[in-house]
């Protein structure tokens, strides 16, 4: 049995990226191996992926096994050719060059991600059947103490205006991390409630599946 408290965890959003690196091939493997000439990436770098594979497009992953001309996408399994047709996953990766912490978080709320189902039954049956279909859209809301001087504020406000997919990550106290592909938005004015600190809400609408790494 294992469990942990979230106390002490930190959250970051990407504030700058290096130039995109063109992908000329991605293998059907676990982990997926990327071919990219003179990519300049090192193990541990975090990249935002653009790919012809819709299940990979927009995901955030960590670089591993970096060699001249190739590197692996740690934790990304593309062995299923029905989901990742061979030869059609090319695109690019955009490395995160700078992160900024979102401090003074008072609460984190998650919503969505519930499994949806199709319900049906056959004429000769008395009971209906249920099979899983899609999951509902997921989002996270970070409630943060209002402080317009903090570096993250300008970063999140710019992302809010830009409406582009951004990389975000959560560092847990046990050393593991979760990477998120998100659209960021932030409330324009703080909440005002007597005898309570002023706060703003940052919403992270997930644009792709999360990637989780152990310590």
Identify whether residues 107 and 204 lie together within a single domain: yes
Identify whether residues 123 and 80 lie together within a single domain: no
In 3D space, the residue among 166, 165, 151, 175 whose CA is nearest the CA of residue 102 turns out to be 151
Identify whether residues 34 and 80 lie together within a single domain: yes
What are the start-end ranges of the H helices in 21-64? none
* Total number of domains constituting the chain: 2
pLDDT of 75 reads 94
> Does 28 map to a domain?
yes
Identify whether residues 206 and 112 lie together within a single domain: yes
Is 80 exceeded by the pLDDT of residue 73? yes
pLDDT of 205 reads 95
Which residues have a Cβ under 8 Å from the Cβ of 43 and sit 6 or more positions away?
63, 64, 65, 66
CA distance 116 to 124: 25
Burial class (CB in 10 A: 0-12, 13-18, 19+), 150: middle
Identify whether residues 106 and 90 lie together within a single domain: no
Percent above pLDDT 70 for the chain:
100
Residue 39 pLDDT class (50, 70, 90 cuts):
very high
> In terms of C-beta distances under 8 Å and separation of at least 24 residues, what long-range contacts does 187-195 make, across chains too?
190/146
Phi-psi region of 175 (alpha: psi -120 to 50; beta: other; left: phi over 0): left
pLDDT (tens digit per residue) in 6-27: 888 999 999 999 999 999 999 9
pLDDT (tens digit per residue) in 160-200: 999 999 999 999 998 899 999 999 999 999 999 999 999 99
Cβ atoms of 171 and 177 closer than 8 Å: yes
> Does 3 map to a domain?
no
Whole-structure pTM value: 0.89
> Does 8 map to a domain?
no
Give the domain extent around 133. 101-213
Identify whether residues 130 and 169 lie together within a single domain: yes
> Does 115 map to a domain?
yes
CATH number at residue 74: 2.40.30.180
Identify whether residues 105 and 206 lie together within a single domain: yes
pLDDT of 116 reads 95
Identify whether residues 57 and 20 lie together within a single domain: yes
CA distance 81 to 69: 23
CA distance 71 to 101: 27
Token digits of residue 29: 């493997």
CATH number at residue 128: 2.40.30
Residue 2 pLDDT class (50, 70, 90 cuts):
confident
């Amino acid at each position: 049995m294992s469990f942990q408290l979230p106390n002490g965890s930190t959250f970051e959003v990407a504030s700058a990226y290096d130039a995109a690196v063109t992908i000329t091939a991605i293998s059907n493997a676990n982990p997926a191996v990327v071919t990219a000439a003179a990519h300049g990436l090192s193990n541990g770098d975090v990249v935002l992926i653009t790919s012809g594979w819709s299940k990979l497009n927009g995901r955030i992953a960590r670089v591993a096994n970096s060699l001249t001309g190739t590197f692996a996408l740690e934790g990304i399994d593309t062995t299923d050719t029905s989901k990742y047709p061979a030869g059609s996953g090319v695109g690019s990766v955009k490395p995160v060059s700078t992160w900024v912490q979102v401090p003074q978080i008072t609460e984190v709320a998650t919503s969505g991600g519930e499994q949806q189902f199709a319900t049906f039954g056959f004429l000769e049956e008395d009971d209906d059947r249920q099979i899983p279909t899609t999951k509902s859209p997921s989002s996270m809301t970070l409630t943060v103490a209002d402080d317009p001087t903090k570096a993250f504020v300008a970063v999140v406000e710019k992302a809010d205006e830009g409406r582009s997919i951004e990389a975000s990550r959560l560092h847990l106290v046990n050393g593991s991390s979760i990477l998120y592909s998100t659209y960021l938005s932030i409330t324009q004015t703080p909440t005002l409630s007597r005898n309570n600190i002023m706060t703003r809400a940052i919403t992270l609408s997930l644009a792709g599946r999360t990637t989780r790494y152990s310590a």
